[in-house]
């Protein structure tokens, strides 16, 4: 507890000063449990926090992300997700726990809660990733029911898109594509999850970073965790979430680590990065958090007892 308390003393309350760590006015020296997620997900973080306090970390991650997946108004995840360019909604998700176990599904059709299927892949199979028809059959064997995921709203937008079928894979605040969630419980253990319907109007069969351990999500219970949002191809080619955790292992704060991972992408994509978005959030063993992105507009949500706030992440092109 001495190290945790020391880490919290160094935290700042100034949201405008990049919101890199926790505010000082915590209810006590130990803010755990704490939940952070990509984008404004106040209600979903609250669902996760409640589940952690009444169950465990994985219950929190699963139920918090389920809350987004079940919301047809969020067109980046689960039910109502934007389809590929053939009009089919395909979903990806992964989960990773404090024991370094992981489960993932990709190119999953007709099942609105891929994070729940990913958890069962982790718990009930000897594998990490199940894909396509195999992932669907596994989900059905576990009692999941197939349903149409393309809502009227998403279909209407798809039909409008077909008029030009113009595809420019730029991801920004208006078209983000992921819910990534990290949490630490009152014992100081960390887990995380990630779920997405991927880029709207992607090529059929495209899989991004979200279901890939080390790219869209990475958890090391000795150090911390990170998750990504934005252009999956850029995250995949740097293994950005793993890289962020490794930067924290070297002694960087969560915000510094997120920034260093973003800068790696900038350095490797000098001619294209200005047209792309990549953002990371990270949480360390002290309960400190941080975020950073290429483009401005990336937001993330931080939730713990009696505190729920959306922050604007610092960005390279701010």
Q: Within a domain: residue 279?
A: yes
Q: Within a domain: residue 2?
A: no
pLDDT of residue 31: 78
pLDDT of residue 86: 95
Q: How far apart are CA 279 and CA 227, in angstroms?
A: 9
pLDDT of residue 87: 96
pLDDT of residue 166: 81
Q: DSSP states of 186-202 as a string?
A: TTS-EEEEEEE--STTP
Q: Within a domain: residue 25?
A: no
Average pLDDT, the chain: 89
pLDDT of residue 35: 97
Q: Within a domain: residue 250?
A: yes
pLDDT of residue 18: 38
pLDDT tier at 81 (50, 70, 90 boundaries)?
Answer: very high
Q: Cβ contacts of residue 5 below 8 Å, gap of 6+?
A: 29, 30
Mean pLDDT of 214-229: 98
Distance of alpha carbon 303 from its chain centroid, rounded? 15
Tens-place pLDDT, residues 240-252: 999 999 999 999 9
Please state whether 10 falls in left (phi above 0), alpha (psi between -120 and 50) or beta.
Answer: alpha
Angle at 270 between CA 265 and CA 272, to 5 degrees: 90
Q: Within a domain: residue 86?
A: yes
Residues annotated as part of the active site? 178
**How many domains are contained in the chain?**
1
Tens-place pLDDT, residues 122-143: 999 999 999 999 999 999 999 9
Q: What percent of the chain has pLDDT over 70?
A: 87
Mean pLDDT of 145-162: 96
Q: How far apart are CA 21 and CA 219, in angstroms?
A: 19
Q: Within a domain: residue 296?
A: yes
Mean pLDDT of 165-183: 72
pLDDT of residue 167: 75
pLDDT tier at 169 (50, 70, 90 boundaries)?
Answer: low
Mean pLDDT of 8-22: 37
Q: What is the CATH number of the domain that holds 163?
A: 3.60.20.30
Determine contact, residues 294/303, Cβ cutoff 8 Å. no
Q: Which domain holds residue 153?
A: 31-315
Q: Within a domain: residue 20?
A: no
Q: Cβ contacts of residue 126 below 8 Å, gap of 6+?
A: none
């Amino acid at each position: 507890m001495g190290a945790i308390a020391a880490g919290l003393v160094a935290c700042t309350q100034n949201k405008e000063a990049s919101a890199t760590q926790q505010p000082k006015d915590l209810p006590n020296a130990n803010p755990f449990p704490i939940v952070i997620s990509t984008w404004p997900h106040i209600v979903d973080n609250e669902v996760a926090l409640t589940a952690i306090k009444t169950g465990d970390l994985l219950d929190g991650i699963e139920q918090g992300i389920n809350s987004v997946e079940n919301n047809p108004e969020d067109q980046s995840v689960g039910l109502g997700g934007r389809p590929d360019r053939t009009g089919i909604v395909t979903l990806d998700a992964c989960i990773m726990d404090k024991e370094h176990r992981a489960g993932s599904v990709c190119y999953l059709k007709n099942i609105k809660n891929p994070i729940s299927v990913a958890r069962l892949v982790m718990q009930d199979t000897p594998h990490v990733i199940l894909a396509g028809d195999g992932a669907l059959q596994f989900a059905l064997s576990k009692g999941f029911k197939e349903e149409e995921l393309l809502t009227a709203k998403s279909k209407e937008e798809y039909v409008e898109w077909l008029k030009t079928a113009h595809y420019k894979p730029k991801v920004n605040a208006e078209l983000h594509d992921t819910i990534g969630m990290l949490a630490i419980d009152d014992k100081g253990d960390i887990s995380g999850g990630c779920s997405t319907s991927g880029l709207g109007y992607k090529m059929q069969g495209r899989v991004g970073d979200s279901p890939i351990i080390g790219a869209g999500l990475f958890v090391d219970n000795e150090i911390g965790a990170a998750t990504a949002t934005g252009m999956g191809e850029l995250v995949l080619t740097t293994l950005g979430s793993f890289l962020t955790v490794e930067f924290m292992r070297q002694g960087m704060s969560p915000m510094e680590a997120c920034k260093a991972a973003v800068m790696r992408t900038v350095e490797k994509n000098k001619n294209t990065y200005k047209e792309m978005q990549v953002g990371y959030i990270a949480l360390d063993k002290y309960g400190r958090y941080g975020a950073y992105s290429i483009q401005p507009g990336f937001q993330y949500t931080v939730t713990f007892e009696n505190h729920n706030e959306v922050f604007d992440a610092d960005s390279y092109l701010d």
